[in-house]
């Protein structure tokens, strides 16, 4: 009789251990899926940030090119003024136009 009780207790304990193991496996699987989702979101955010940074760098490079072009125009205006090719009024107008293009 005692042996039968012990056997049933062992079977219950074994069954509970298996159920606990299944629950733990499901919990671990769910945690892994959630972590994978978080990792995917982080990767997407990193890609988006990289795109934004590249676009910003491109805009800054274009601004630098524009400023360099304006500086060359200013230099040509000075040279033309010094050479007597243009008068002061025209030089001032050119410089105003250049300033306008810089300020946007």
CA distances 34 to 3, 27, 76, Å, are 46, 10, 63
Pair 74, 95: CB distance under 8 Å? yes
Q: Which domain, by its residues, includes 47?
A: 2-103
Q: Which pLDDT score is estimated for 100?
A: 94
38-91 pLDDT, tens digit each: 999 999 999 999 999 999 999 999 999 999 999 999 999 999 999 999 999 999
Cα separation, 96 vs 73, whole angstroms: 11
- How many structural domains comprise the chain? 1
3-15 pLDDT, tens digit each: 777 878 888 888 8
Segment 92-104 shows an average pLDDT of: 92
């Amino acid at each position: 009789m005692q042996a039968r009780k012990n056997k049933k207790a062992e079977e219950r304990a074994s069954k509970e251990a298996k159920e606990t193991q299944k629950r733990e496996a499901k919990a671990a699987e769910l945690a892994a899926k959630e972590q994978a989702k978080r990792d995917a979101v982080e990767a997407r955010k990193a890609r988006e940030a990289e795109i934004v940074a590249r676009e910003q760098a491109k805009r800054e490079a274009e601004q630098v090119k524009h400023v360099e072009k304006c500086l060359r125009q200013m230099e040509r205006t000075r040279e033309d003024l010094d050479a007597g090719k243009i008068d002061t009024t025209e030089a001032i107008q050119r410089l105003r136009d250049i300033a306008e293009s810089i300020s946007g």
